[in-house]
Structure 1
Amino acid sequence: MNKKSRIHAVTTGVAVLCCLFGFMACKPQDKSKEAASETVQEIKKTVVTTVPPKRVPVFYSGMQENGTIEAVEQVTVKSKVSGRLEQMLVHQGDVVEAGQTVALVEHKSIQARLESAKADLVVSQAQLAQAKVTLADAQKEADRYEKLFKDGYCTEQQLTQRRTTLRTAQAGLAVSQANIAKNKASIGEIMVDLDEATIKAPIAGVISDDFSHTPGEMINTDTLIVEVVGMDRLYARVNVAEQYVHRISKGMKVFISLLGDKKGPYEGSVWRIQPTVDTATRTTRVDALANDSSAMRPGMFVTVFFAEEKMENPVVLPMGAVKRSNGDHFIWLMIGDKAKRLIVRPGLKNGNETAIEDVIPEGARVIITGGDNLKDGDLVVEANHQAAASS
């Protein structure tokens, strides 16, 4: 090989090596450019949070107040007789029926009084029978002397004596009759005492307090024996500020919510409205009766929503999802990965929610945050999706 050929071969080899190194150096740069391009595209997507549109059969607007559950029927049972407590048959938490015996007062002394009164009645009845015989005899004698005096066979003094005897017999009969009435009244009173020695629950319900009574203790009239709460009919008691009372009417639908309860709220209605305002609190008492009170207990803290207006079959959205600009109300939708502006007609509001009547496209989600500077067609991405991609 001559010198010229060797130079050409070396030059060609160097060129090949340069191309090879150049290709290897350029390949990572292409990947970097591609990654950078993708990053630019991701940066152009606006991060948003969305919720699916929620359509409900009925949406209510109104006002909400705090209240307390109370029972329509709550009775404190007192003893009507004095004596020793013989038996305490129920205790706190027990379920009782109306007329069920809850306690017994020792009644031996009452029974003794009853037997004595019955004996007195027997004596009075015997006296009455004798008084009737005496009266009949006196009447016959008086009638006979009336005739004798008329015919001139007796003196006026003799007739007067017979008339006096008749009046005495009549008075004796009246006394005997009065004694019998008195004896019967006494027996009736003792029978009442005997019956009241058996203390009964006046209503069906639950024993909320047994006042820690124990058999053998002495009790008097008006001693508290038990407290019975009827659990079938419970209501929410609410004190409403005077400036809002005009918004409430009897029979208005309400929804009662219990703390920590996931089954509610429970429907009910306004049962009664106090006609006056408490001058100390400037509130009026409103009672709302629950349709189903099985999950409620007297004394529970509740919230009561008074339903003033209703809207049927609307879409319910968070309040912040509805925007306003140039007199128009609108929402931002996320359809696929693009934003779309939709003009809407807002309806009723309730707390943090608002209802609209408009139709939302199938599969669209409502943007609730991140849509302040959007334009139609802007690329958007869910916040949780972006976080997942970053990790």
Structure 2
Amino acid sequence: MRILFLLMFMCFGLFAQDKVTEATIVSQPIQKGKLQAQTSFLGTLHFVNASKVASQTSGVVEKINFKIGDSIKINASLAQVNADLLQKEIQSKQAKLKQAQYIHERQQKELARYKNLLKSESVSLQQYESIEYEQKSQYSNILALTSELESAKMELSKKNIKAPIGGIIVDKMINKGEWINVGDPICEIVDTTSAEIIVDVPSTMLTHLKNGQEVGVIIEKKHYRGKIYAIIPRADTHTRTFPVHLHVENDGSFVDGMATQVLLSSGGVIEGNMVPRDCIVEYLGTQSVFVVRDSKAYAVPVEVLSMQGENAIVRGNLKSTDSVVYRGQDRLQNGMQVRESTINLKNPKK
């Protein structure tokens, strides 16, 4: 019985291994094509939006609701400053306002009574005007007390320091029990959802660039699409280069200060093997594409010469009879058995 179980287990293992070593893919023949010639420049990635959160009030830090590395949402409570004295002050102002309103209500009734007495000439005009003046003065007092109460409540809301933006806490500048003043920083937040790349280019490149232009970006050997949004018309006095800013969508792997490779149009046209840009992957630390030869997938190292839209021109040991894999390439191994998918997937744009 034990031998039979062992044989069944080995057979199942071999069957499972066979299933793993065959992958379903979608491929298309390599084509010759033309794209605009491009030059590669080094750039630096930065997160666009960062905030050093400052306190708008003074007092003793009573509670801290964050630590470095926390992901927080906009308007999240970051810290609480002690507000005991301010709350007592608000209670006192509320009582004074209530008292002033009672007095004003009594004065209104008194003014109405004096008005009737004035008609019957039971009181003098001077007496009536004196009561009227006191009533108006008390109304102004109510307005002043109301304003003071609203200001105190606004000050109370500042005791709860909230996040002006959502993001990651990258620095912490306060500790519980410390006294902070107005304007003292408590933490720094970086919004990681919005990233930009700054690349410095010579003046000869500026005629080929424009705002809104899509460019290819390579970060840690992964390919991204970037879009130019600002070309700064002021050169660095030392390098005589001009900064170009472009947006790039963060896939969750970005960190501030990363080195990037940006492919910018340099004029002219380049010809070569055109493949879908999505088929370019990092395999064993090298940019590669997988080609199908005799029902097997083989990784071929390539150099990206130009990348625009959905396509790229690459240079490598590619044959005219090769088909390049553009679906399912992320899970392939060199020499793995493959079969074409029977699902009618949409071909990449050409």
Same fold (TM over 0.5): yes
Give the letter aligned to residue 81 of structure 1: T
Give deviations 1:82-109, integer Å, cap 9, x for gaps.
Answer: 0001111112111001111111111111
Distance in 1, matches of 2:125 and 2:36, equals 92
* Residues 203 and 228 in structure 1, CA contact (< 8 A), matched pair in contact too: yes
**Aligned with 2:237 (options 263, 271, 280):** 280
Q: 1:133-148, aligned counterparts within 5 Å?
A: 133-145=109-121
Residue 38 of structure 1: aligned partner: none
Distance in 2, matches of 1:103 and 1:198, equals 6
Give deviations 1:255-282, integer Å, cap 9, x for gaps.
Answer: 2223xx23x12112112333x4146354
SS in 2 for 1:230: strand
Tell me which protein shows more helix as a share of its residues. 1
SS in 1 for 2:169: strand
**Aligned with 1:200 (options 162, 178, 199):** 162
Q: 1:191-270, aligned counterparts within 5 Å?
A: 191-211=153-173, 213-258=174-219, 261-262=220-221, 264-270=222-228
Distance in 2, matches of 1:77 and 1:56, equals 54
Give deviations 1:57-78, integer Å, cap 9, x for gaps.
Answer: 8755223332222223212211
Distance in 2, matches of 1:81 and 1:94, equals 24
* Residues 242 and 277 in structure 1, CA contact (< 8 A), matched pair in contact too: no
Mind listing any 5+ residue stretches in structure 1 that lack a counterpart? 1-52, 146-157, 317-347, 364-391
Distance in 1, matches of 2:134 and 2:33, equals 86
Distance in 2, matches of 1:56 and 1:298, equals 38
Distance in 2, matches of 1:268 and 1:355, equals 19
**Aligned with 1:126 (options 99, 102, 106):** 102
Q: 1:1-391, aligned counterparts within 5 Å?
A: 59-145=35-121, 162-211=124-173, 213-258=174-219, 261-262=220-221, 264-274=222-232, 276-278=233-235, 280-281=237-238, 282-307=240-265, 314-315=272-273, 362=321
Distance in 2, matches of 1:207 and 1:360, equals 51
Residue 11 of structure 2: aligned partner: none
Tell me which protein shows more strand as a share of its residues. 2
Give the letter aligned to residue 195 of structure 1: S
Give deviations 1:177-226, integer Å, cap 9, x for gaps.
Answer: 11211122112111111111111112211011112x21000001111011
Give the letter aligned to residue 200 of structure 2: N
In the TM superposition, residue 168 of structure 1 has moved relative to its aligned partner by: 2.1
Distance in 1, matches of 2:34 and 2:152, equals 63
Distance in 2, matches of 1:132 and 1:190, equals 28
* Residues 209 and 265 in structure 2, CA contact (< 8 A), matched pair in contact too: no
Give the letter aligned to residue 118 of structure 1: Q
CA RMSD of aligned residues (A): 3.3
Name the TM-score, length of structure 2 as normaliser.
0.65
In the TM superposition, residue 289 of structure 1 has moved relative to its aligned partner by: 0.6
* Residues 238 and 286 in structure 1, CA contact (< 8 A), matched pair in contact too: yes
Distance in 2, matches of 1:84 and 1:104, equals 9
Distance in 1, matches of 2:119 and 2:242, equals 79
Name the TM-score, length of structure 1 as normaliser.
0.58
Identity %: 20
Seen in structure 2, the aligned counterparts of structure 1 residues 185 and 220 have a Cα distance that, compared at 3 Å, is same
SS in 2 for 1:299: coil
Distance in 1, matches of 2:131 and 2:73, equals 55
In the TM superposition, residue 164 of structure 1 has moved relative to its aligned partner by: 2.1
Distance in 2, matches of 1:191 and 1:237, equals 44
Distance in 1, matches of 2:126 and 2:199, equals 77
Distance in 1, matches of 2:242 and 2:61, equals 43
* Residues 138 and 162 in structure 1, CA contact (< 8 A), matched pair in contact too: no
* Residues 30 and 320 in structure 2, CA contact (< 8 A), matched pair in contact too: no
The higher radius of gyration belongs to 1
Aligned pairs, how many?
258
Distance in 1, matches of 2:139 and 2:270, equals 78
Mind listing any 5+ residue stretches in structure 2 that lack a counterpart? 1-28, 275-303, 323-350
Seen in structure 2, the aligned counterparts of structure 1 residues 305 and 166 have a Cα distance that, compared at 3 Å, is farther
Distance in 2, matches of 1:57 and 1:188, equals 70
In the TM superposition, residue 118 of structure 1 has moved relative to its aligned partner by: 0.7
* Residues 263 and 306 in structure 2, CA contact (< 8 A), matched pair in contact too: no
SS in 2 for 1:249: coil
Residue 322 of structure 1: aligned partner: none
In the TM superposition, residue 310 of structure 1 has moved relative to its aligned partner by: 9.4
Distance in 2, matches of 1:80 and 1:217, equals 15
